[in-house]
Amino acid sequence: MKNRYRIRDYDFKLILLLIALTTIGILAVTSANEAYHDKQLLGFILGLFLMIVVSLFDYSFFLKFYWILYGINIVLLLAVKFLGNSAGGAQRWLSIFGVAFQPSETAKIILIMFFAQYLMKYQKKLNTFKVLVSTILLIIPPWILIYSQPDLSTSIMILVIFITLLYVGGLSYKIIIGGLAVAVPSVIIFLMIVLQEGQTLIQNYQQKRILAWLQPENYANTEGYQQANSIMAIGSGQLWGKGLDNNVISSVKNGNFISAPQTDFIFAVIGEELGFVGSCTVIVLIGLICIECILIARKAKDLSGRLICCGMAVLIGVQSFLNISVATGIIPNTGITLPFISAGLTSLVALYIGMGLVLNVRLQGVRK
C-alpha cells in the first residue's frame, strides 16, 4: 500500500552511497571483461528503478504475503534442482522466457522478508520450544536446496543471516550460549572430518580449496593458483593502481591468471587497477552502507523493520567480508560475489530491491 511521504525524509545519503559503489563496480567489471558491461549497466538501471518503486510502498504490505513469498522461494529452488542450467559443475541457474537468473540470490532477500514477519508475529513466544523448533525447521528446506546445488558459500550466508535475525528478534542469551557451546565444537569436528581423505561431507573441490588455503605451497599451481595471483595483483597495484582497462603486460588480469575476474575475484581487479586508495574506497563505502542500515534499524517502527535492515546489513557486510577475504587469502576460496560490485544481474537487482525495503523502513520510522 502506497503512502504519502515527505521528500526531506528520504535517505538520499544511502542512495548516493549505493550509486557510488555500483559505479565503481561497473567500471571494474567492464575492465575485467567488457562483455559484461551492458548487462551490469542494465542491472544498475533496473535495480535503481525497482528500489525507488519499492521504497514508496509500505513494507508491511509486502510482509502480509510472507507465506506466499516463502512458497515461491521453495518452488524456484526446486525448479533449479530439476530444471536448472548447469555451469562449472553447479546447477544454480533457471531460465524463464529465455532470461537466466539465480534463485539463490533472490532467496536471501525473500528469507529476510519472511522471517522479519514470522519472528515479529511470534516475538513473545520465540524462546519457547515449539516456536524455536518450528523456526529452525522453516530454514532447513531452502538451505538444503541451496547447499545441494552445490553452493556452500550461499548456504553459509543464509545461515549467518538466519542467526542474526534470531538474535535481533529477541533470542534468549541462555539459548545463544547453549547454541555456541554446541556449535563451536561441532565446527571444529566438522573441519577435522572434511580434511580427511575419503570424506563425504563436502565436495572434493571444496576440500581441495581448504587444503590449498592451509598448504598454499603444495597447491600453488592448482587449487591455490587463483588466490596466489589475486594477492599478487592487489599488491602490485600499490597506492594508486595501474589504471582501469590498462594495457600493462604484467597485469594479472591481462595475463588471464585469474578465471572470471568479473565475479569472485573482482576485488583483485580493483586492487591492481585502482590500488590501495581504490580498495579502501570500496571497503569504506560498504561499511558506510552497513552502518546506515543499522542506524535506520534503530528508528524502525516495529520489529519487522529492524529485522529487514539488520538482515540487509549482515548480507552486505558479511558477504563483502567473505569475498575480500578470499581475494586477499584470509580464508579459503568460497566462490562468493562482492555485493553491488561483482557481475551478476540477479544479485544486483535483488540487492537493490532489498535496499528499497530499507529505505521504506526509514520513511516509516521518521513518521512515527
Whether 240 has a pLDDT exceeding 80, the answer reads yes
Alpha helices in 102-248 (DSSP H): 103-121, 129-147, 152-168, 173-194, 204-214, 225-236
pLDDT of residue 257: 73
Confidence of residue 260 (pLDDT cuts 50, 70, 90): confident
Whether 45 has a pLDDT exceeding 60, the answer reads yes
Cβ density class 151-181: b for 16+ within 10 Å, e for less: bbbbbbbbebbbbbbbebbebeeeeeeeeee
* Of 120 and 334, more confident: 120
Whether 367 has a pLDDT exceeding 60, the answer reads no
Digit-coded pLDDT (tens) for 159-196? 999 999 999 999 999 999 998 898 889 888 888 887 78
pLDDT of residue 74: 96
Those residues whose C-beta lies under 8 Å from the C-beta of residue 200, and which sit 6 or more positions away, are none
Digit-coded pLDDT (tens) for 352-363? 999 999 999 999
Digit-coded pLDDT (tens) for 281-308? 999 999 999 999 999 999 999 999 999 9
Those residues whose C-beta lies under 8 Å from the C-beta of residue 367, and which sit 6 or more positions away, are 5, 9, 301
The type of residue at 244 is: L
Using CB atoms within 10 A of its CB, is residue 221 exposed (0-12), middle (13-18) or buried (19+)?
exposed
Those residues whose C-beta lies under 8 Å from the C-beta of residue 59, and which sit 6 or more positions away, are 304, 305, 308, 357, 360, 361, 364
Q: Residue 229 and residue 253: Cα distance in Å, rounded?
A: 9
CB 250 within 8 A of CB 266: no
Q: Residue 318 and residue 188: Cα distance in Å, rounded?
A: 21
* Of 219 and 39, more confident: 39
Whether 368 has a pLDDT exceeding 50, the answer reads no
Whether 255 has a pLDDT exceeding 90, the answer reads no
Beta bridge partners of 91: 86
| Cell representation of residue 305 | 523493520
DSSP helix/strand/coil, 105: helix
CB 272 within 8 A of CB 251: yes
Give mean pLDDT, residues 8-29.
Answer: 94
pLDDT of residue 214: 76
| Cell representation of residue 351 | 540487492
pLDDT of residue 250: 66
pLDDT of residue 89: 65
Beta bridge partners of 93: 85
Q: Residue 190 and residue 238: Cα distance in Å, rounded?
A: 38
Whether 216 has a pLDDT exceeding 90, the answer reads no
Angstrom CA distances, 315 to 139, 217, 299, stand at 16, 33, 20
The type of residue at 59 is: Y
Give mean pLDDT, residues 153-164.
Answer: 94
pLDDT of residue 50: 97
DSSP string covering 242-296, please? S-TT---TT-TTTTT-SSSTTTTTHHHHHHHHHHHHHHHHHHHHHHHHHHHHHHH
| Cell representation of residue 326 | 578470499
Q: How many CA atoms lie within 13 A of 332 on its CB side?
A: 18
Confidence of residue 126 (pLDDT cuts 50, 70, 90): very high
CB 253 within 8 A of CB 271: no
Q: Is the peptide bond before 103 cis (omega within 30 degrees of 0)?
A: no
Cβ density class 241-268: b for 16+ within 10 Å, e for less: bbebeeeeeebbbeeebbebbbbbbbbb
Whether 320 has a pLDDT exceeding 60, the answer reads yes
| Helices first, then strands: H and E counts in the chain | 13, 3
Confidence of residue 22 (pLDDT cuts 50, 70, 90): very high
Confidence of residue 141 (pLDDT cuts 50, 70, 90): very high
Those residues whose C-beta lies under 8 Å from the C-beta of residue 150, and which sit 6 or more positions away, are 90, 203, 206
DSSP helix/strand/coil, 138: helix
Confidence of residue 94 (pLDDT cuts 50, 70, 90): confident
